[in-house]
Chain A
């Protein structure tokens, strides 16, 4: 009996130790979890004092960075005095002039950044100080854009995210927030109609209306962190980033040197900048819309060249249009349009190449390419005509066959009637 009580006591004791151990483990874990809670966020949310532009989807919040990661302080303490104490490194709201360095603490540190994105660039701050915005900020101008002006302060999202203020489709609006503000721009003697002009341009329509992300937004020509207006020399390089052949052709001509001497803005001189429109053949030649006659006058070499270039382009364009018209007729008639379609693609290609070759200002080159296109368009036209003729031949053939059948049917009918008559 005594032994039994002894065993029971021993069992109860060991059980309570074990239970107590498990409980204490659980409590320890609880304390660990509490430590991970961002007390800045908890308190500021509780007293409804989160930043105005605060968003739960912010990229930093998603990366589990606390408010203190940027603003300093102790995020583990729920005591305001301790949490927001300068001794704990609390910075609070940074001054505008300090913002680039403030963000740069992490964004210029490749060792820190590669943890989040191995291929990320870390030269944004360095680039920024080369930009007009950065230079002016350094001189104490606090009206210029810094990081948060474009990226926001607390709703930052990667540029690939359609909700981001710097997503390609949103960039024109983001820039326009300042560049469309006449009071602000007046100080810098800058126009405010760029966004309006851009939205009507071939690039703006492609990006904003057709949602073509391949089309350039403001930053594609001006740069982003290092934003600056392209200089005289760099204009053709800026456009040439996408329009490579045009740039190469133009740069190899004597016209490019003449442009430099005259302080002309490369591509912009003929095509404009923000409001650049889809070019048309009337831009060359000697008509009212010609850009060439802005400088060249009747009798000079450029005038004659322009006239010739225009004639080559229009002859190909007219032939192409005529062939295309016939092609549509063939399609509409349900005839075989496959080969004609291929031919027209080649003719169209020749037309595009001829237009690109305009930038060589070489009448022979343009003339040869245009001739190649004219020949193909003529072939396509001929093929289309054959199909159209075939269409009518078939119908006429059917009409003749039907007529022959009809004659035969009538003859048969009378023959049968005749037989019936004889039989009766």
Chain B
């Protein structure tokens, strides 16, 4: 078996020269230190994306977009299709965990300052991937065409409409008309299964290429160690095996969640029905949603909601450009200014999310 494998590899090698890959596998090293655990977060996110890809393709086999068929087909998937319940619930849970781990990965990179030169573009592509993950979540939420998703999409697209000049046309473009209708569902389906995956894959490949090209980031405390004290483990197979171990654990947790905490399908969306209680966006939009809710109707002469939307837009953009922001190092400060901003952002997100669920 091993010989057969080697034969295939040498067959390919002869024709396509696999030495760069071999070099990478043989020479890539991962620093081993007390914060090494954060290196795995990106890997877990990647694994969850692969799960999404696979379960998404399987769901596509039975899902039928359309006002009269979307809800029915999802119900069919979870009730009649063999293992359909498992695939749909794994897809839902994996989507949520993906966003969670993407956030964890992003903040771990931020606090360990791994975005600094020469990894600026890795950060930028990573941030774009996160934004697209959120767009995946938002578009996928509507696809089962149930009450809660219908009204949450209504509220969500309404927020887009607040943006000056481009807001209203963008809202109509997203909705495929004035209101959330079957046309919106078709659009969201197209965005979710074709447009987003295509763009997402490009940025993901770039992101991964950058990482392979530049290797793993070494934090300051590690860099300052004398050479003999720096410990590395080979990426292949040592680090890869550990990655695999974590992926298996996460996969097992995914199945556990899918089995014991299945996602409700709820009632079919009804445009003329009154909005059900407890319409709320997915948890990862909650901090923004709650902030917009808490803002007063008017701040000076500007609408509160508009100001909030603009603020989040600008803040997101600035956050993407973090590697290019130069702030003077202050040796007397225990916590550096940028780190402090990061801590405040994490606190803001966590507190607003909790408040959103409690209020």
Contacts and interface: CB of A to CB of B under 8 A. Distances in A.
A333 to B, nearest CB: 11
A394 B79 CA distance: 13
A419 B238 contact: yes
B58 interface: no
Contact of A419 (B86, B241, B245, B259): B241
A338 interface: yes
Nearest to A339: B79
A259 interface: no
B238 A420 contact: yes
Interface in A386-411: 394-395, 398, 401-402, 405, 408-409
Contacts of B242: 416
Nearest to B238: A419
A412 to B, nearest CB: 5
Contacts of B241: 412, 415-416, 419
Interface in A38-66: none
A245 interface: no
Nearest to A387: B79
B50 to A, nearest CB: 17
A416 B245 contact: yes
Interface in B253-288: 255-256, 259, 262
B146 to A, nearest CB: 15
A22 to B, nearest CB: 54
B35 to A, nearest CB: 18
A419 B262 CA distance: 39
Nearest to B245: A412
Given A401-B252, A409-B245, A409-B249, A334 B262 contact: yes
A82 B276 CA distance: 68
Secondary structure dominating the interface of A: helix
A398 B248 contact: no
A412 B259 contact: no
B319 interface: no
B259 A405 contact: no
Given A338-B79, A419-B237, A398 B259 contact: yes
Contacts of A413: 245
Name the prevailing secondary structure of the B interface residues: helix
Contacts of A405: 248-249, 251-252
Interface residues of B, number: 18
A412 B79 CA distance: 36
B268 to A, nearest CB: 13
Contacts of A336: 78-79
A401 B255 contact: yes
A408 B238 CA distance: 16
Contacts of B245: 409, 412-413, 416
Contact of B255 (A338, A398, A419): A398
B16 to A, nearest CB: 29
Contacts of A398: 255-256, 259
A97 to B, nearest CB: 59
Contacts of A415: 241
Contacts of B341: none
Contacts of B78: 336
B238 A412 contact: no
B195 interface: no
B248 A412 contact: yes
B244 interface: yes
B147 to A, nearest CB: 17
Contacts of B237: 419
A395 B85 CA distance: 13
Contacts of A401: 252, 255
A409 B242 CA distance: 10
Interface string A316-358: 0000000000000000001010100000000000000000000
Nearest to B264: A334
A395 B259 contact: yes
Interface string A81-99: 0000000000000000000
Contacts of A416: 238, 241-242, 245
A143 B251 CA distance: 87
Interface in B68-101: 78-79, 86
A402 B238 contact: no
A124 to B, nearest CB: 45
Interface string B231-253: 00100011001101100110110
Nearest to B256: A398
Residue among B241, B244, B245, B256 facing the most chain A CB atoms (10 A cut-off): B245
Nearest to B78: A336
A423 B79 CA distance: 51
Contacts of B259: 394-395, 398
Contacts of A408: 248
A110 to B, nearest CB: 45
Nearest to A402: B252
A423 B256 CA distance: 36
A423 B232 CA distance: 11
B248 A409 contact: yes
9 contacts: A336-B78, A395-B259, A401-B255, A402-B256, A405-B251, A405-B252, A409-B249, A419-B237, A419-B241
**4 nearest CB pairs, A to B:** A336-B79, A412-B245, A405-B252, A416-B241
Given A409-B249, A412-B244, A423-B238, 11 more contacts: A336-B79, A401-B252, A402-B252, A402-B255, A405-B249, A405-B251, A415-B241, A416-B241, A419-B241, A420-B233, A420-B238
